[in-house]
């Protein structure tokens, strides 16, 4: 028999006392630059987060920046032996400070020394006052010996004030954390803090990937990984093109083998069979508390199991401050669902049924409906729809409504007017107009034989509300008006919000017919009725429509304010995830683009994509259009081309309203013009929707006709363009479509300028400038590209502009000058060899060698030296301005710089070496 190893006497492993090596693609994290100061030292720095969240890397990075004395101790399971723990601890402190030689000696000679004695000796040897000292206990979750916890508590009670114990752990250690928190001696960092933001992820990928990744993709990756760096790292390692990258991001939702394996190992190490059972049963839930878990498990001990799992450092997120509600981390949830489907497939249905009933009893009806759908349980779905379908509709919860209806038998729907109306509204909302009509007709047939004539009439009138909206969407406002009035003639017995919808159709019809004032008044009244009814969907719709009408009238600020009201309403009623929110974000992004607030325009478009993520790409067209426009304004040609391509693909694959098409075509034409792609413009003319200036009574018909004029102008067919624009202009002026007037004058100015008709060009430019004092238009001007500079310079020189107009013109010139043309976009490539050359020189500042800059940071330093502003750098490098800021902060931190002038000085010094000055 072999003798058991005496752990107390084992030699110490030197590597356990070394700070971890820095990863090769280390990202400086600005948000931690304020963490810890040598002046204010907490007793305990607790960094607690699940595996792979960056606890070790972030701590090591921050302590290195602080340049403080650090005793690093990486624990493993062997360190549960008390003396071994005391020896390593003493050794690490000794190596960092030279202190505690006697304790070190004592432990070497008497390995059986009790922990308490050893720690007392260690504390007695530490001076009472000294420079800050950080003692890091990394992977502390591996310690489960209560004696050691007791020893650490002892240490925390008696250690000198300059000493900070940094405990890095996956789970909460029993170290009297609550008391330290109350005493103000604790500093906590959690998974929420450690998670990478989209900006950080973008900076991280930019240093790693040679290809361009869209912000959309980055945000999706961060959303799905919840900023978990290990998953982001995996994406970076396993993708060599942007297409593969995007595929990997998609996989985060369906399941990635490497991540599954990672979680397999984690479960193997940290949970027992009973805990695993808990995970399997609750995996189907989007959120849970202990009673819900108990209900699904049918077990008494679920409270204890939950408690033990929370203590095991798994990927479980606490949802509220009461600490009663939890959910699984998004990627862990994907994994658990997969495991559940493999291990307990036969239980799936009954688990979902139990969950549906439990939620129903708690009056969380959409969760109840969700699980009823997952269980394919028609009975439960029907019961829920009959009781709550109207409420879902009123509150705009259309996604769950749709999933319920999709799971039902068609005859059951046709026999029920409420279900039919719900189904028809959903179909119309998805632009499946024929389907909607089929549902209505089927119900009419089915009901005719079963109910009285009067009832049939009133049902038909309610059905006409849907038909009115369909007619509206098909571009038939006259028919829409007739149907809407017929819907308003009867009480809405089955689905009261239908009547509000019919009323808003009348407003929409008036709007597209060019009766802006009347339309606005109508929409205001509709909003009031919807508010009184608590019909959220209709309230938001009415507000968005008022915003659209205000935009058409040229009052963009008023439209913005209306949108603010809608956002506020959303917040008050917790409606942030309703599909209609995409509409609100979309119209907000359009105003932001027009005002040249590109970052906001981009983030609103991305928000729209996020909201409709589950509905499929078809619904992202409008967001993609904005993203293409933003990319063009930033001079990012590849990205713009990608979005334009996507939009084209989607337009050719499905049918879209002329409003969407005209908007898309405008972006496409602007792109082709900037890319000097005459062929695409010529081709577009062969497939473009026909225009009719007489019908250009609204923004989309105006836009469509203007697109023709744009195309003709780009192709130097000026006469055709002129006749369209002149007729459009007259129509817009008569109807008070001021934003269109503004855009028409810009187009006319451009046209005449190209045709060398200077006087007319300046007349229209001046008029456009005047109108811009109401609209605030910027984006529509900048779309002209560099031509705008000469045009406006001539205007300032040759006409007597009022002060405000001149200032506006000057601002536009400035923006146009900063704007990058596609063809002129500059990419600066600093050669690796040259950088190495600089670093190798003996006369470079020490920090350049000890805190190496990334390639991107070198580029940015050289651009700062060249005198570019942050915005210009972002344009040059084709990255977001926030990314530039992140790089600059990191650069400053590394080189201990506080002002731009110092950066310029450093760059001058370094770059002069390669330039041989």
Nearer to ligand ATP, 25 or 574 (CB): 25
Nearer to ligand ATP, 213 or 765 (CB): 213
Nearest distance from residue 21's CB to ligand ATP, in Å? 9
Does residue 394 have a known ligand-binding role?
no
Does residue 552 have a known ligand-binding role?
no
x/- letters, 39..78, toward ligand ATP (CB under 6 A):
----------x-xxxxxxxx--------------------
Does residue 55 have a known ligand-binding role?
yes
Nearer to ligand ATP, 51 or 84 (CB): 51
Nearest distance from residue 61's CB to ligand ATP, in Å? 6
DSSP, residue by residue, 658-695? HHHHHHHHHHHHHHHHHTT-HHHHHHHHHHSPP--GGG
Of the candidate residues 95, 116, 230, 638, the single one contacting ligand ATP (CB under 6 A)? 230
Nearer to ligand ATP, 23 or 160 (CB): 23
Nearest residue to 881 via CA among 823, 833, 818: 818
Nearer to ligand ATP, 57 or 713 (CB): 57
Nearest distance from residue 314's CB to ligand ATP, in Å? 12
HSE-up of 146 (CA within 13 Å, CB side)?
0
Nearer to ligand ATP, 168 or 664 (CB): 168
Whether the CB-CB separation of 330 and 225 falls below 8 Å is answered with: yes
Nearest distance from residue 204's CB to ligand ATP, in Å? 6
Does residue 53 have a known ligand-binding role?
yes
Nearest distance from residue 140's CB to ligand ATP, in Å? 10
Nearest distance from residue 55's CB to ligand ATP, in Å? 3
Residues 839-868 within binding reach of ligand ATP (CB under 6 A): none
Identify the residue whose tokens are 């591996």: 142
Nearest residue to 231 via CA among 59, 52, 56: 52
Nearer to ligand ATP, 140 or 560 (CB): 140
Does residue 49 have a known ligand-binding role?
yes
- Beta-bridge mates of residue 74: 138
Nearer to ligand ATP, 76 or 406 (CB): 76
Nearest distance from residue 323's CB to ligand ATP, in Å? 22
Three-state secondary structure along 724-772? HHHHHHHHHHHHCCHHHHHHHHHHHHHHHHHCCCHHHHHHHHHHHHHHH
Type and span of the H or E element at 611: helix 598-611
- Beta-bridge mates of residue 136: 72, 166
Q: How far apart are CA 586 and CA 572, in angstroms?
A: 20
Q: What b/e sequence results for 299-310 when a residue is b if at least 16 CB atoms lie within 10 Å of its CB, and e otherwise?
A: beebeebbeebe
Whether the CB-CB separation of 461 and 490 falls below 8 Å is answered with: yes
Identify the residue whose tokens are 């009461």: 322
Residues 538-597 within binding reach of ligand ATP (CB under 6 A): none
Nearest residue to 713 via CA among 755, 764, 674, 651: 755
Nearer to ligand ATP, 54 or 554 (CB): 54
Ramachandran angles phi, psi of 581, nearest 5°: -60, -25
Does residue 50 have a known ligand-binding role?
yes
x/- letters, 105..144, toward ligand ATP (CB under 6 A):
----------------------------------x-----
Question: What are 415's two structure tokens?
Answer: 């026999």
Nearest distance from residue 279's CB to ligand ATP, in Å? 19
Nearest distance from residue 84's CB to ligand ATP, in Å? 20
Nearer to ligand ATP, 201 or 693 (CB): 201
Nearest distance from residue 226's CB to ligand ATP, in Å? 14
Nearest distance from residue 326's CB to ligand ATP, in Å? 20
Nearest distance from residue 892's CB to ligand ATP, in Å? 17
Residues 416-475 within binding reach of ligand ATP (CB under 6 A): none
The DSSP secondary-structure symbol of 315 reads S
Q: How far apart are CA 853 and CA 871, in angstroms?
A: 21
Q: How far apart are CA 755 and CA 757, in angstroms?
A: 5
Q: Which residues make Cβ contacts (< 8 Å) with residue 60, sequence separation at least 6? A: 19, 20, 22, 72
Residue 123, classified by CB atoms within 10 Å of its CB into exposed (0-12), middle (13-18) or buried (19+), is middle
Phi-psi region of 496 (alpha: psi -120 to 50; beta: other; left: phi over 0): alpha
The DSSP secondary-structure symbol of 618 reads G
The reply on whether position 671 binds ligand ATP by CB under 6 A is: no
Nearest distance from residue 51's CB to ligand ATP, in Å? 4
Distances (CA, A) of 741 to 19, 35, 181, 751, 804: 66, 54, 62, 15, 20
Of the candidate residues 48, 92, 233, 353, the single one contacting ligand ATP (CB under 6 A)? 233
Nearer to ligand ATP, 190 or 790 (CB): 190
Residues 138-157 within binding reach of ligand ATP (CB under 6 A): 139
Binding segment for ligand ATP (CB under 6 A), chosen from 72-80, 228-236, 753-761, 846-854, is 228-236
Does residue 534 have a known ligand-binding role?
no
Nearer to ligand ATP, 74 or 710 (CB): 74
Nearer to ligand ATP, 111 or 852 (CB): 852
Nearest distance from residue 312's CB to ligand ATP, in Å? 12
Q: How far apart are CA 229 and CA 108, in angstroms?
A: 40
Nearest distance from residue 147's CB to ligand ATP, in Å? 23
Residues 18-37 within binding reach of ligand ATP (CB under 6 A): 23, 25-27, 29
Distances (CA, A) of 353 to 296, 335, 349: 9, 21, 6
Distances (CA, A) of 319 to 33, 48, 287, 289, 306: 28, 17, 8, 10, 14
Three-state secondary structure along 95-156? HHHCCCHHHHHHHHHCCCCCHHHHHHHHHHHCCCCCCCEEEEEECHHHCCCHHHHHHHHHHH
Q: What is the total count of residues that contact ligand ATP (CB under 6 A)?
A: 19
Nearer to ligand ATP, 314 or 601 (CB): 314
Q: How far apart are CA 714 and CA 638, in angstroms?
A: 21
x/- letters, 188..227, toward ligand ATP (CB under 6 A):
----------------------------------------
Of the candidate residues 36, 163, 229, 605, the single one contacting ligand ATP (CB under 6 A)? 229
Nearer to ligand ATP, 142 or 715 (CB): 142
x/- letters, 164..193, toward ligand ATP (CB under 6 A):
------x-----------------------
Q: Where are the alpha helices (DSSP H) in 489-515?
A: 497-512
Question: What are 779's two structure tokens?
Answer: 């984006």
Type and span of the H or E element at 327: strand 326-328
- Helix 198-208 to helix 881-895 angle (10° resolution) is 70
Which residues are annotated as part of the binding site for ATP?
Answer: 49-56
Which residues are annotated as part of the binding site?
Answer: 49-56
Query: Where do contacts with ligand ATP occur on this chain (CB under 6 A)?
Result: 23, 25-27, 29, 49, 51-58, 139, 170, 229-230, 233
């Amino acid at each position: 028999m072999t003798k058991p190893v005496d752990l107390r006497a084992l030699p110490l492993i030197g590597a356990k006392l070394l700070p971890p090596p820095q990863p090769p693609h280390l990202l400086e994290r600005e948000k931690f630059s304020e963490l810890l100061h040598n002046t204010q030292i907490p007793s305990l720095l607790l960094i607690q987060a699940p595996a792979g969240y960056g606890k070790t890397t972030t701590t090591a990075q921050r302590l290195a920046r602080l340049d403080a004395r650090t005793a690093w101790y990486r624990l493993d399971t062997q360190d549960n032996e008390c003396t071994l723990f005391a020896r390593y601890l003493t050794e690490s402190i000794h190596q960092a400070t030279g202190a505690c030689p006697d304790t070190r000696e004592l432990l070497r000679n008497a390995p059986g020394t009790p922990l308490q004695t050893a720690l007392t000796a260690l504390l007695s040897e530490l001076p009472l006052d000294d420079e800050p000292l950080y003692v890091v206990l990394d992977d502390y979750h591996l310690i489960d010996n209560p004696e050691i916890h007791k020893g650490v508590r002892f240490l925390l009670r008696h250690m000198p004030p300059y000493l900070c114990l940094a405990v890095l752990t996956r789970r909460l250690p029993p170290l009297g954390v609550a008391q330290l928190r109350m005493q103000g001696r604790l500093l906590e960092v959690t998974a929420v803090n450690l998670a990478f933001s989209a900006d950080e992820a973008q900076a991280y990928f930019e240093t790693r990937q040679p290809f361009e990744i869209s912000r959309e993709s980055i945000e999706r990756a961060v959303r799905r990984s919840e900023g978990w760096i290990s998953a982001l790292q995996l994406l970076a390692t396993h993708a060599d093109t942007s297409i593969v990258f995007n595929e990997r991001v998609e996989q985060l939702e369906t399941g990635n083998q490497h991540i599954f394996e990672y979680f397999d190992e984690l479960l193997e190490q940290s949970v027992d069979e009973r805990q695993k059972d808990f995970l399997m049963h609750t995996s189907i839930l989007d959120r849970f508390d202990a009673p819900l878990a108990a209900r699904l498990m049918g077990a008494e001990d679920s409270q204890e199991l939950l408690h033990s799992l929370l203590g095991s450092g798994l990927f479980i997120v606490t949802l509220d401050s009461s600490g009663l509600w939890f959910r699984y981390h998004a990627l862990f949830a994907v994994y658990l669902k997969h495991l559940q489907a493999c291990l307990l497939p036969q239980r799936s249905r009954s688990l979902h049924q139990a969950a549906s009933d439990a939620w129903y009893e708690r009056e969380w009806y959409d969760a109840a409906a969700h699980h009823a759908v997952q269980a394919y349980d028609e009975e439960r779905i029907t019961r829920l729809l009959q009781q709550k379908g109207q409420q879902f509709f009123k509150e705009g919860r259309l996604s769950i409504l749709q999933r319920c209806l999709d799971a039902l038998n068609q005859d059951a729907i046709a026999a029920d007017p409420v279900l039919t109306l719900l189904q028809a509204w959903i179909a119309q909302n998805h632009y499946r107009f024929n389907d909607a009509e089929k549902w209505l007709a089927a119900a009419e047939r089915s009901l005719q034989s079963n109910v009285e004539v009067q009832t049939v009439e009133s049902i038909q009138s309610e059905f006409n509300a849907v038909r009115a909206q369909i007619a509206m969407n098909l571009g038939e406002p006259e028919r829409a008006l007739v149907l809407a009035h017929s819907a308003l003639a009867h009480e809405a017995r089955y689905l009261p919000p239908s009547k509000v919808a019919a009323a808003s159709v009348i407003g929409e019809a008036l709007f597209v017919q060019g009766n802006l004032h009347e339309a606005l008044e109508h929409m205001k009244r509709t909003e009031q009725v919807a508010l009184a009814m608590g019909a959220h969907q209709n309230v938001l719709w009415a507000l968005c429509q008022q915003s659209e009408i205000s935009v058409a009238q040229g009052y963009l600020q008023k439209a913005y304010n209306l949108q603010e009201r809608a956002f506020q309403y959303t917040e008050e009623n917790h409606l942030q995830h309703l599909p209609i929110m995409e509409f609100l974000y979309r119209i907000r992004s359009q105003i932001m683009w027009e005002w040249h607030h590109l970052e906001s325009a981009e983030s609103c478009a991305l928000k729209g994509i996020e909201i409709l993520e589950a509905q499929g790409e078809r619904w992202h067209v409008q967001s993609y259009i904005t993203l293409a426009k933003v990319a063009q304004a930033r001079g990012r040609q590849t990205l713009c081309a990608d979005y334009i391509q996507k939009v084209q693909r989607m337009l050719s694959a499905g049918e879209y309203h002329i409003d969407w098409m005209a908007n898309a075509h405008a972006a496409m034409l602007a792109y082709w013009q900037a890319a000097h792609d005459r062929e695409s413009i010529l081709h577009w003319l062969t497939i473009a929707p026909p225009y009719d200036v007489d019908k250009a009574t609204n923004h989309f018909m105006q836009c469509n006709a203007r697109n023709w004029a744009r195309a003709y102008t780009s192709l130097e067919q000026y006469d055709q363009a002129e006749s369209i624009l002149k007729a459009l202009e007259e129509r817009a002026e008569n109807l008070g479509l001021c934003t269109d007037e503004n855009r028409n004058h810009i187009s006319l100015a451009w046209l005449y300028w190209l045709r060398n008709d200077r006087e007319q060009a300046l007349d229209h430019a001046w008029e456009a400038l005047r109108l811009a004092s109401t609209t605030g238009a910027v984006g529509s001007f900048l779309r002209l590209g560099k031509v705008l500079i000469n045009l406006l310079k001539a205007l300032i020189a040759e006409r007597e502009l009022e002060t405000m107009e001149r200032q506006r013109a000057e601002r536009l010139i400035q923006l146009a000058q900063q704007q990058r043309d596609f063809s002129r976009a500059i990419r600066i490539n600093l050669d690796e060899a040259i950088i190495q050359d600089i670093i190798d020189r003996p006369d470079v500042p020490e920090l350049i060698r000890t805190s190496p800059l990334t390639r991107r940071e070198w580029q940015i330093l050289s651009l700062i030296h060249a005198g570019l502003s942050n915005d210009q750098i972002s344009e040059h490098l084709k990255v977001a301005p926030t990314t530039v800021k992140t790089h600059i902060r990191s650069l400053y931190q590394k080189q201990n710089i506080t002002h731009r002038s110092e950066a310029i000085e450093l760059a001058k010094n370094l770059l002069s070496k390669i330039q041989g000055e």
